[in-house]
Structures are given as structure tokens and as C-alpha cells.
Structure 1
Amino acid sequence: MAHVMPDLFKIDVTGHAVSDARTEMVARGKVVTTDEPIERGGTDLFATPLETMLSSLLGCTNVIANYVAGLLKMDVRGMEFDVCGHFDTRGVFGKAEIGTPFPVIELTVTLDTNADDAQIAKLAEIVGQKCPVSVLLRRAGCEIQENWVRK
């Protein structure tokens, strides 16, 4: 039986500052910690908040791509992801007013599938429209340059 999602539900996360650079959050009883590299005052023990944000794009892409592949009756045996965010620091450091801190995000999805190029293109198109993280980033002005390829 398929899981039925409500039209709207809350996602609650709490957190506290461990230091100037380290934050511990709790989501559904799971601890999520972010940190900064040593040169930025952190301990370098955890991913940075921005790395975590980019990781969220990969995790969301995985979930939504598998869901959409099922709807399209595509056989996807596995996926690998690479993401590179081009971070414009000028806004953070007051050097310039910028539209978005990530003007470009490069996303590569490598599929283990026997689907053809047209099916993969359709999957990528629908995922781009449905993945909440992707939608948020695009609406914030990020250009997501996607490359979906067969393994």
C-alpha cells in the first residue's frame, strides 16, 4: 500500500549554537551538526551549512527521482550524484549587493538504467519541477545546470 501524504504538514527542527561556528540541530530525534573549517573558526568535524544545503539538493533529487521513475515505469537500479555550488561571497562580506549567493549550481546525476536518452530527459524535467529543494533554489535565482547521464 502506498503512503499517502497530507497536502500540507510541518517539518520541525530545533537547534543551538555549540560555538561561533558549530550548530547542533535536532530533526525527528536525529542530530544534524554543521561546522566550519579551522580557517573559519570551526573544528572541521562536520559539513558546513552550505555543504549541507547542497547535500539536501542531492538527497531530495534522489527521493523525487526514484518516485518519478516509478511513475514513468523506468527501471533505475542506482544513482550517483555530484554537485558543485558556485558561491558568491561578496554579499556575505558586504562587497556588493548580489541577487543570489549561488548564481550557478552544477548537478550531475549518473543513472544505472537501461532507459533511453528521451526517458532520462523526461525524468530530469519532472524532477526539476517536483523536487522541493530544486524548486526553492531556482526561485531564489540559482541557475541549476543539470547533466543526467547513463552509467
Structure 2
Amino acid sequence: MAHVMPDLFKIDVKAHAITHARTEMVARGKVVATDEPPERGGTNLFATPLETMLSSFLGCTNVIANYVAGLLKIELRGMEMDICGHFDTRGVFGKADIASPFPVIELRVVLDTDASDEKIAELQRLTGEKCPVSVLLRRAGCEIQESWMRK
């Protein structure tokens, strides 16, 4: 049985700054933490906020791709993904007025499926249109270079 989602609902997250580099957030009673590496004054215990953002893109891609695969009647036996964000630090450090701190994000998805190339292309297109993180990043000016292929 499919879960029915409301048209609009709130997602609440609370945060506490443990140090200038480490933050602990609580979402639905689950703790999420971010940190920075030692060279930026952190303890390196957790992923950085930007690594966490890119990880969220992968997690959302997984959820939405599996949802879309169901709509398209594509059997996905598994997915492997990796991502590389090209971070332009000039905006953060006031060196330049840049359009996007991530001008390019490379996304690679390897599917364990027997779906045709055409079906995979449709899965990629619809996932990009429906994934909330993908939509936010694209509208923020990120060029997402995608490669979706069969295992």
C-alpha cells in the first residue's frame, strides 16, 4: 500500500553549535552532526556541512529514483552513486561575486537493472525533475552533469 503524502507539510530541525566548527542537529528525534577538518578548526568527527548537503542529494536521488522506477515499471535491483561538487570558495571569502558556490556538480549513477537505455534516460529525467534537492540545486544555478548507466 502506498503512503499518501499531504500536499504541504513542515520539516523541523533544531540545532546547537557545539563549537564554531561543529553543529548538532535533531530531526524527528534523530541526531545529525557536522564538523570541519582540523585545518579549519574542527575535530574531523563528522562530515562537513557541504559534504552533508551533497550526501542529501544522493539520498534524495535514491528515494525518488526508486519511486519513479515504480511508476515506469522498471525493476531496480540496486543503485551505486557518487557525487563530486566543484566548490567555488571565492564567494565565501569575498574575492568575487559568483552566481553559485557550486557551478558544477557531477553525479554518477550505476543501476542494477535490465531496463533499456531509453527507460534509463526517462528515469534520469524524471528523477531530476522530481527530486527536491536536485530542483533546489538546479534553481540555485548549479550545473548538474549526470551519468546514468547499467551495471
Shorter-normalised TM range: over 0.9
The two structures have a TM-score, normalised by structure 2, of 0.99
Structure 1 residues 72-151: aligned runs within 5 Å: 72-151=72-151
Instruction: Report the equivalent of 2:6.
Output: 6
Deviation at 1:11, TM superposition (A): 0.2
Distance 1:107 1:3 in 2: 28
The two structures have a TM-score, normalised by structure 1, of 0.99
Q: Which runs of 4+ in 1 moved over 4 A?
A: none
Structure 1 residues 53-68: aligned runs within 5 Å: 53-68=53-68
Deviation at 1:136, TM superposition (A): 0.1
Q: Does 1:69 align with 2:66?
A: no
Distance 2:63 2:75 in 1: 15
Deviation at 1:18, TM superposition (A): 0.2
**What secondary structure does 1:76 align onto?**
coil
Distance 2:100 2:73 in 1: 37
Aligned sequence identity (%): 79
Distance 2:9 2:124 in 1: 26
Distance 2:56 2:45 in 1: 19
Distance 2:117 2:73 in 1: 15
RMSD over aligned Cα atoms: 0.3
Distance 2:136 2:63 in 1: 16
